[in-house]
A and B are shown apart, each in its own frame.
Chain A
Amino acid sequence: MEGAVLVIGAGIAGIQTSLDLTELGFKVYLVEKTPSIGGRMAQLDKTFPTNDCSLCILAPKMVEVYRNPNIKLMTYHEVTSISGEPGNFDVTVLKKPRYIDEEKCKGCGDCATKCPKIQVPNLFDMNLGKRKSVYIPFPQAVPPIYLIDPELCLKLTKGVCGVCEKVCEAKAIDYEQKPQEINIKVGAVVVATGFDMPAGELSSRWGYRFQNVVSALEYERILCASGPFGGHVLRLSDEEEPEKIAFIQCAGSRDLHENVPYCSSVCCMYTAKEAIITTEHSENTKCFVFRHDIRAYGKNFYEFTQRAQDEYGVKYFQTKISIIEEDPETNDLLIHYEDLKTGKFNDFRANLVVLATPLVPKKEIRELANILNIELDKYEFFKEKSYFNKSLSSREGIFLCGFCQGPMDIPETVADASGVASQVATLLYSAKFTQVREKEYDVDEKEVNPFDEPRIGVLICHCGINIGKYVDVPNVRDYIKSLPNVVYCEDNLYSCSSDSQEQIKEKIKEHNLNRFIVASCTPRTHEPLFQETCQEAGLNKYLFEMVNIRDQCSWVHMTEKEAATEKSMDLIRMAVSKSKLLKPQKEEKIEVIPTALVIGGGVSGMTASLELANQRFKTYLIEKEKKLGGNLNNLNILYPIQEDASIFLNNIIDKVESNNNIEVHLESTIKNVKGYIGNYDVSIIDSKDKLTEIKTGAIIVATGGQEFKPNGLFQYDGKNKQIMTQLEVEQKLQDTDKSWLEKLKRVTFILCAGARQKEGITYCSNICCGTSIKNINILKELNPNLEIVVLYRDFQMAKKDFEEYYRNRRKDAIFLRYDLENLPKVAKVAKSPEKYKVEVFDTNLQDNLDFETDLIVLATPMVPADNLKDLAMMLKVPLDRTGFFLEAHVKLRPLDFATDGIFLCGVAQWPKNIQDSISQASGAAGRASRFLSAGEITTSGLVAEVTQSKCIGCGDCEEVCPYKAIELIETTKDFEDVSIIVKKSSINSALCKGCGTCAATCPVGAISVKHYDFDQIGAMIDSYFLEKVKNGGST
């Protein structure tokens, strides 16, 4: 069995799976068709609902992939064939020629600067920007390696030019490169190829052919500060700022004519986001959204679309678009539409139109499906093996991840990616850690004491001509050489090249250096490389310091050589001053107890437990009720697969109960939690007050949720047999006696009962619409003569198969749309037998309707489980405003808490359906098992530390620490005639992330952050201002 995994596609899905897989003990071959990893997410300006800068949160992960020794990054490669079986696949990958030697290219960009061939549309900027024929897709591309476009390069097409070869100091240009086949062996394959957004294929009525009609992804590039217009909102025809922008939602999605029958699921949200950002960018621009249903599928998403309207003045119209035409004189657009609120046909003039075009499977998906021999579904996404496990393809050993399987947003994708990693780990369990390598150093680390005389080595890089041309490097070198404690200082062409690494190692030994500095490019990408080199030479990597004289001197002061030179001298001198105070740091290893605790025995908790147990980790599953299953016990049929819930439930309960690695504790709750990641002591208590002590390395919170009981709303009181909630109806449908149904003539469903309100429960609970459609269908099948009326606001059916499920069942009922301003009214019309009347203003018909009904079913939202506050306190994890648990980062860490070692999944995080709960549960298990698999955690050397003698125990640090890494420890101390309780702060280095907020908060300077200490930064400040270059150099 191979301990390696092939991941195809390096967008956020592929990146996350790869990172998780390496932590689970697998080598990863990450194959990406394009020249850079990052995928669609790298193209986005910001991400909803937090409006995080997309690249800010993605770039660190991209760099992590690049630097990970266990990920073999294969960009500009394609998979051409695969054979074998799970555990042992043989894969052939085609390496496409970049015409640039990856080993030699330093990413300096001299070639592109000098390349004469320009005016080629840049694909990364959705063809809005320009690039040259030798290029890098975008500035932050990973790997930072250039490539030549063979169709445009004059040398490759006509045999002339060759300028790039002449200017490349690294001699990396290779016009002779040929495609190359590479064979690899892997145990499993993960497909994560993402989606396309081809606006050009839409029918002509959307007007995409007009200059000022752009797709949402194109608009994303327009908004982006690093996009073609530098973040200025301009339209294409005249590069003027538009006054009115129309955003058209469902421009092709949910549309049988456009061949996209499903809902793309993310457009409502990104449209709201783009409108908000536009409003923030330019005051003069007004945004108008032409919407159909609002389908904000995710945590607090619905409120985001409300904020766009309430806080940013974005105007929403509920419409159907007829056609979009251009006014040829002004290049404005005329949108002909039907206003669904008034039923009238109107025209709207906009200066720019942004189309929320459908997100569709990649064009090449069929080809790849053939190569991999896996099936596609009817929408041409990869087909999942089972509704309950969307990560499995039709072929065993090949997994699906992210949008290539169906529409999902980034957090779902990330959760999915972690879930896939977990399932791969289960499959390849016995090959874990067989092919990964941990860096081992054969040279012993030399001892460096704080009082040893600093012996500093400095290497200054020319970066080809990138630094050398704009900074007088020899002069800088001579100046730095003259500084006290600098024992060695030289300059070279490329400090990052492999021969330079050898040079650094030699010099460290030759001069017995105990500090090393490289002045070149950015530490964000290159520091780990030099640190590793230092460590290889026996110099603790924390004794290395890096200075960025390229991005901060040569490239930004290209016309001021003297000033750039002086600045370089200053910056290096500052680093020299700091480096004298650097101390070697140890990375500690903390042992992890290889067991897990799962709180909550619903479908999420059970799935997570099974995943962990199948990876051979002992798992404790705690359930407060007498029976496993949670909410699933109350359901009767699962949609959209129409399978009996009890079959699924009994099956999974059997699996849990028969698994030797799972210990189930029913009727039990958590009493007390102590410890930290890897080492928790948890007491649980059962209904007979019996205490059990458990030692565990990780905790998963899967506490689920419950249906909201809308007492007082629409005459509901919990007893009335004529007014029930959905769950109550479902329970009633489980009775064998269904004669009550035959007596009913008309049933009325009221959706959003108590949800999406202005106050109270403001959120959309995401699942009630689907459940209603399911129940309507069941009722109708049991009693075909039944008349069903549905009062709804928007239909939330944002999953792959849901739109069709909904479309097929629309005929089962009469659908009346109401809005928040005119809530339906329920009134009693007869006492006995009890009878009720419903009054509603139907916005579709623009009319008041009232009718009698025999049964009212209220679709109420999911709310968090009871008593979560105590649990949250014990675990030291936060709840959000709505009472659900708050994850570490809504976009990229949906299953983690900020506190390492504790994870969450299922409805505990947010209301979700069974498929998403299962996917998240696998993900949470995957996240947790990373630590359990490794068996130990290595702490970073860059953590905060308390000087005990200085600490006054005020607790300010504890309050500000976002990771709950700080604790106050009380001891009683005797002083001559008094004894007092003394509090001292203590930082757990396993939890500390080294941000240093505690240090800046500490009133007495008792906390130091290693490597960014007060003295070290103070030395840099003093060095800059007090030891300024005094005609030391060229100045």
Chain B
Amino acid sequence: MTESKEKLNKNKDFEPELLVFCCNWCSYAGADLAGVSRFQYPPNIRVIRVMCSGRVDPSFVLKALKDGADGVLISGCHIGDCHYISGNEFAKKRFERMHKIIIKQLGINEKRVRLEWVSASEGKRFAEVITEFTNQIKELGPLEN
């Protein structure tokens, strides 16, 4: 078997380990709605609830990557909807900087670290985002490749 084929097969069975940070007020509520509505999505994520996406420290993301996460998703209220007025805007700024200066320069595919906005009424979207994110990481293969 050639190396690339081997890799391909490996990726097919690969179950990524993904970490998701959800803000309490919108995205966690969106995840709850996905549950209540029984929207199915891949079981590869583990959610950590924080009060605001603005709480998500870049060091959390780096720690997860160091520990072996294949992907990290941060999800907050849509811009303008923040329960804490502007926390998500700071999250966005910080995230963009981290993405460009740290994640990219470390040679880690930027798709592995993602920022999304999911509102409390977007249960379906939460399921879709998670499905899509999981599939994307499956395609990329393990970080330890």
- In the complex where A224-B121, A231-B124, A1025-B64 touch, is A1017 in contact with B50 (Cβ < 8 A)? yes
- CB pair B37 A226 closer than 8 Å: yes
Interface residue? B59 (CB, 8 A): yes
Which one of B32, B43, B56, B81 lies within 8 Å of A551 (CB-CB)?
A: B32
Interface residue? A184 (CB, 8 A): no
- CB pair A942 B85 closer than 8 Å: no
Interface residue? A552 (CB, 8 A): yes
**Bound: A281/B113 CA distance, A:** 26
At the interface with chain B, which of A45-53, A291-299, A450-458, A862-870? A45-53
Interface residue? A826 (CB, 8 A): no
Collect the chain A residues with CB atoms within 8 Å of residue B87's CB.
Answer: 962, 995-997
Interface residue? B8 (CB, 8 A): no
Interface residue? B104 (CB, 8 A): no
- CB pair B54 A995 closer than 8 Å: yes
- CB pair A52 B80 closer than 8 Å: yes
Which one of A53, A60, A522, A898 lies within 8 Å of B119 (CB-CB)?
A: A53
Residues B92-123 near A (CB distance < 8 A): 94, 119-123
Interface residue? A555 (CB, 8 A): yes
- In the complex where A962-B85, A1021-B19 touch, is A226 in contact with B33 (Cβ < 8 A)? yes
- CB pair B84 A997 closer than 8 Å: yes
Collect the chain A residues with CB atoms within 8 Å of residue B69's CB.
Answer: 1021, 1025
- In the complex where A1000-B56, A1000-B90 touch, is A556 in contact with B46 (Cβ < 8 A)? no
Which one of B52, B55, B91, B121 lies within 8 Å of A225 (CB-CB)?
A: B121
Residues B120-145 near A (CB distance < 8 A): 120-125, 127
Residues A990-1035 near B (CB distance < 8 A): 993-997, 999-1001, 1005, 1009, 1012, 1014, 1017-1018, 1020-1022, 1024-1026, 1028
- CB pair A997 B90 closer than 8 Å: yes
Quote the shortest CB–CB distance from B16 to chain A (angstroms): 12
**Bound: A212/B35 CA distance, A:** 32
Quote the shortest CB–CB distance from A36 to chain B (angstroms): 14
Interface residue? B77 (CB, 8 A): yes
**Bound: A1014/B61 CA distance, A:** 12
- CB pair A551 B120 closer than 8 Å: no
Closest to A113 in B: B38
**Bound: A52/B81 CA distance, A:** 5
- CB pair A1025 B68 closer than 8 Å: yes
- CB pair B26 A53 closer than 8 Å: yes
Quote the shortest CB–CB distance from A831 to chain B (angstroms): 55
- CB pair A1021 B85 closer than 8 Å: no
Among B40, B43, B51, B123, chain A packs the most CB atoms within 10 A around the CB of B43
- CB pair A567 B84 closer than 8 Å: no
Closest to A996 in B: B55
**Bound: A993/B28 CA distance, A:** 18
Collect the chain A residues with CB atoms within 8 Å of residue B40's CB.
Answer: 556-559
Interface residue? B11 (CB, 8 A): no
**Bound: A524/B124 CA distance, A:** 19
- CB pair A1009 B51 closer than 8 Å: yes
Which one of A226, A559, A1014, A1024 lies within 8 Å of B17 (CB-CB)?
A: A1024
Interface string of A962-1006 (1 = CB under 8 A from B): 110000000000000000000000000000011111011100010
* Residues of A in contact, count (CB < 8 Å): 68
**Bound: A352/B70 CA distance, A:** 45
Closest to A1020 in B: B48
Collect the chain A residues with CB atoms within 8 Å of residue B36's CB.
Answer: 109, 139-140, 551, 555
**Bound: A559/B42 CA distance, A:** 10
Collect the chain A residues with CB atoms within 8 Å of residue B38's CB.
Answer: 555-556, 558
**Bound: A960/B91 CA distance, A:** 11
Residues A207-243 near B (CB distance < 8 A): 224-226, 230-231
Residues A49-90 near B (CB distance < 8 A): 50-57, 59-60
- CB pair A56 B26 closer than 8 Å: yes
Closest to A994 in B: B51
- In the complex where A225-B119, A524-B29 touch, is A567 in contact with B46 (Cβ < 8 A)? yes
Residues A531-574 near B (CB distance < 8 A): 548, 550-553, 555-560, 563-564, 566-567, 570-571, 574
Interface residue? A150 (CB, 8 A): no
- In the complex where A994-B51, A1012-B51 touch, is A551 in contact with B122 (Cβ < 8 A)? no
Collect the chain B residues with CB atoms within 8 Å of residue A524's CB.
Answer: 24, 28-29, 32
Quote the shortest CB–CB distance from B65 to chain A (angstroms): 10
- CB pair A993 B31 closer than 8 Å: no
Which one of B35, B63, B84 lies within 8 Å of A1021 (CB-CB)?
A: B63
Closest to A997 in B: B54
Interface residue? A883 (CB, 8 A): no
- CB pair B46 A570 closer than 8 Å: yes
Residues A109-167 near B (CB distance < 8 A): 109, 139-140
Quote the shortest CB–CB distance from B48 to chain A (angstroms): 6
Interface residue? A523 (CB, 8 A): yes
Closest to A550 in B: B35
Collect the chain A residues with CB atoms within 8 Å of residue B119's CB.
Answer: 53, 55-56, 225
Collect the chain B residues with CB atoms within 8 Å of residue A54's CB.
Answer: 121
Residues A584-642 near B (CB distance < 8 A): none
- CB pair B77 A56 closer than 8 Å: yes
Residues B1-47 near A (CB distance < 8 A): 17, 19, 24-26, 28-29, 31-41, 43, 46-47
Interface string of B76-89 (1 = CB under 8 A from A): 01101101111100
- In the complex where A224-B121, A994-B51, A1021-B64 touch, is A140 in contact with B33 (Cβ < 8 A)? yes
Closest to B28 in A: A524
**Bound: A963/B86 CA distance, A:** 10
Closest to A224 in B: B121
**Bound: A993/B86 CA distance, A:** 13
Closest to A551 in B: B35
- CB pair A552 B39 closer than 8 Å: no
Which one of A51, A56, A962 lies within 8 Å of B121 (CB-CB)?
A: A56
Quote the shortest CB–CB distance from B74 to chain A (angstroms): 11
Collect the chain A residues with CB atoms within 8 Å of residue B122's CB.
Answer: 53, 225-226, 231
Quote the shortest CB–CB distance from A391 to chain B (angstroms): 29
Collect the chain B residues with CB atoms within 8 Å of residue A889's CB.
Answer: 85
- CB pair B34 A1025 closer than 8 Å: no
- CB pair A1001 B90 closer than 8 Å: yes
Collect the chain B residues with CB atoms within 8 Å of residue A1018's CB.
Answer: 60, 63
Collect the chain B residues with CB atoms within 8 Å of residue A1020's CB.
Answer: 48
**Bound: A596/B35 CA distance, A:** 47
**Bound: A564/B28 CA distance, A:** 18
- CB pair B55 A556 closer than 8 Å: no
Quote the shortest CB–CB distance from B136 to chain A (angstroms): 19
- CB pair A1025 B60 closer than 8 Å: no
- CB pair B121 A45 closer than 8 Å: yes
Collect the chain B residues with CB atoms within 8 Å of residue A994's CB.
Answer: 51
Among A109, A224, A524, A995, chain B packs the most CB atoms within 10 A around the CB of A995
- CB pair B121 A55 closer than 8 Å: yes
- CB pair A996 B33 closer than 8 Å: no
Quote the shortest CB–CB distance from A893 to chain B (angstroms): 10
- CB pair B25 A60 closer than 8 Å: yes
Collect the chain A residues with CB atoms within 8 Å of residue B124's CB.
Answer: 225-226, 230-231
**Bound: A556/B59 CA distance, A:** 29
Closest to A959 in B: B90
- In the complex where A56-B119, A226-B33, A524-B32 touch, is A1012 in contact with B50 (Cβ < 8 A)? yes
Which one of B25, B33, B49 lies within 8 Å of A139 (CB-CB)?
A: B33
Question: Could you write out 16 A-B pairs with CB less than 8 Å apart?
Answer: A57-B81, A225-B124, A230-B124, A231-B122, A551-B31, A551-B35, A552-B47, A555-B38, A556-B43, A566-B43, A963-B85, A995-B54, A995-B83, A997-B86, A1012-B50, A1012-B51
Known: A54-B121, A995-B84. 19 other contacts (CB 8 A): A55-B119, A55-B120, A59-B120, A226-B124, A524-B32, A550-B35, A555-B38, A556-B35, A556-B43, A556-B127, A574-B46, A962-B85, A962-B86, A996-B50, A997-B87, A1009-B55, A1021-B19, A1025-B68, A1026-B67
Top 3 A-B residue pairs of the complex, sorted by shortest distance between their CB atoms: A551-B35, A996-B55, A997-B54
